[in-house]
Amino acid sequence: MSIPQSGGGPIESLDQLAALLESGCKPKEDWRIGTEHEKFGWLTDTKQPLPYDGPRSISAIFAGLEARFGWEPVLEGENVIGLTRNGANISLEPGGQFELSGAPVLTIHETASELDNHLAEVAAVTEGMGVRFMGIGAAPEWSHDQMPVMPKGRYRLMTDYMGRVGTHGTQMMYRTSTVQVNLDYASEADMVKKLRVALALQPVATALFASSPFFDGKLNGHKSWRSRIWRGLDDSRTGMLPFAFDEGMGFQAYVDWVLDVPMYFVYRDGKYIDALGQSFRDFLNGKLPALPGEKPTLSDWADHLTTVFPEARVKKYIEMRGADCGDRAHLIALPAFWTGLTYDDAALDAAWELVRNIDSETREGLRVAASVSALQGEANGVKLADLAHAAVSLAHTGLAERGYGEEIWLAPLVTSVKAGKVQADRWLDLYHGDWAGSLAPVYDASSY
């Protein structure tokens, strides 16, 4: 989840809303890769989730990282809710999922080094604590009541609202983990092509990275329960954005959609003001019930942009959001996959040719099929295994053309495509085999 945005003055013209997105346009030589991943902390003696406070806790880990490795605290009130250092951030999801938002880097090799350094620092400060971290898409056994609640104002507001607008919102907030990558665009046209490819191939990413076949202590009938949860969250702010494929798509069309998404909050003087369900359009006219007579700033708009959750999201870059968290190899493979597809012009063109004739109904059908069956899924005759084979091949070619040798990081995806099996299939094979129907081994098996 995002931290409060800053640096934007009063909105004096509607043109500023699209201009904020357009300001993200960069020449190709300035494109960078920003990888984010979440993971569940757990206590090795009790197999319970890591709490926020106490001798074995998130707070203790934050303190250790700050003291030993030069991280700077991010505060909300008196609580440390994150850390920052050299363009990277460590933040908290609502249930204590420990998130690294990496610094923008040039190559996937740097992404791998950053990840390994992060895991090494966390291991150093947790040595002797009896704490480990799981890389898996959904908490296999913990109930909602067992999850800790992080001391962040936006989460308190969101928890209440999620219960009113969907069936799975609090499951997403407290009991899922993802890996995603943030990538740049050169122009409005480049953004549109990348967004369309990202949306159309997001079911492929969901399938390739599926790792959440367990929930509430049992099989859930899906290979990516995390993806299933997103389909029952809040239709007004999630999904596959069919309008993105319409003629005339651009920054303004995305802005128009976001403006119609109900608000969560307004951030003022270190506090979150409840604006649940209210309209940003009313806010622009000084008619927001939560702040009567006050008009928004660009920081408010940037905050509102972080409260929409489509499968691919536009800010001053594009976020690829469809993948479950997984093991170390998959945390690196995710940015490698999307970088290969979108940062080489020929690969991007070929990826668009691959998906341009897939209609909205089929894209949505593939989204559902990916969550249920991963690479065995299909919709309207389009097989995810075939799309995955083609997409991984294109990503490999795109990375090779970049000339950094990054294609080595696609290895787990190449293996999955050849075998037709993903992380979730491996968990299911173990569950039905060596684990004999027990989930107790999944904690160690999925931990870094």
What CATH number is associated with residue 383? 3.30.590.20
Does residue 440 sit within a domain?
A: no
What is the pairing mode between strands 131-134 and 33-43? Answer: antiparallel
Does residue 189 sit within a domain?
A: yes
Classify residue 423 as left (phi > 0), alpha (psi -120 to 50) or beta.
alpha
Per the structure, how many domains does the chain have? 1
Cα gap 190→82, rounded to integer Å:
33
Does residue 58 sit within a domain?
A: yes
Burial of 86 (0-12, 13-18, 19+ CB in 10 A): exposed
Q: CA 72 from chain center: how many Å?
A: 23
Cα gap 364→31, rounded to integer Å:
30
Does residue 303 sit within a domain?
A: no
Does residue 9 sit within a domain?
A: no
Q: What predicted TM-score, i.e. pTM, was given to this entire model?
A: 0.96
Q: Is the dihedral of CA 131, 136, 142, 147 positive or negative?
A: positive
Cα gap 429→319, rounded to integer Å:
32
Does residue 167 sit within a domain?
A: yes
Residue 26 one-letter amino acid: K
Cα gap 165→122, rounded to integer Å:
37
Among 406, 195, 201, residue whose Cα is nearest residue 314: 195
Q: What is the dihedral of CA 156, 125, 226, 239, to 10 degrees?
A: 60
Among 94, 77, 95, residue whose Cα is nearest residue 271: 77
Q: What is the dihedral of CA 345, 351, 356, 361, to 10 degrees?
A: -140
Cα gap 384→225, rounded to integer Å:
17
Instruction: Please report the DSSP string for 315-359 in residue order.
Output: SSSEEEEEEEP--HHHHHHHHHHHHHHHSSHHHHHHHHHHHTT--
Cα gap 231→304, rounded to integer Å:
21
Does residue 191 sit within a domain?
A: yes
Q: Which domain holds residue 74?
A: 15-261+308-432
Helix residue ranges, H only, 277-326: 280-284, 298-305
Tens of pLDDT along the chain (448 residues) come to 455 565 578 999 999 999 999 999 999 999 999 999 999 999 999 999 999 999 999 999 999 999 999 999 999 999 999 999 999 999 999 999 999 999 999 999 999 999 999 999 999 999 999 999 999 999 999 999 999 999 987 887 787 777 666 567 788 889 999 999 999 999 999 999 999 999 999 999 999 999 999 999 999 999 999 999 999 888 999 999 999 999 999 999 999 999 999 999 999 988 899 999 999 999 999 999 999 999 999 999 999 999 999 999 999 999 999 999 999 999 999 999 999 999 999 999 999 999 999 999 999 999 999 999 999 999 999 999 999 999 999 999 999 999 999 999 999 999 999 999 999 999 999 999 999 999 999 999 999 9
Token digits of residue 74: 């991010």
Cα gap 54→24, rounded to integer Å:
41
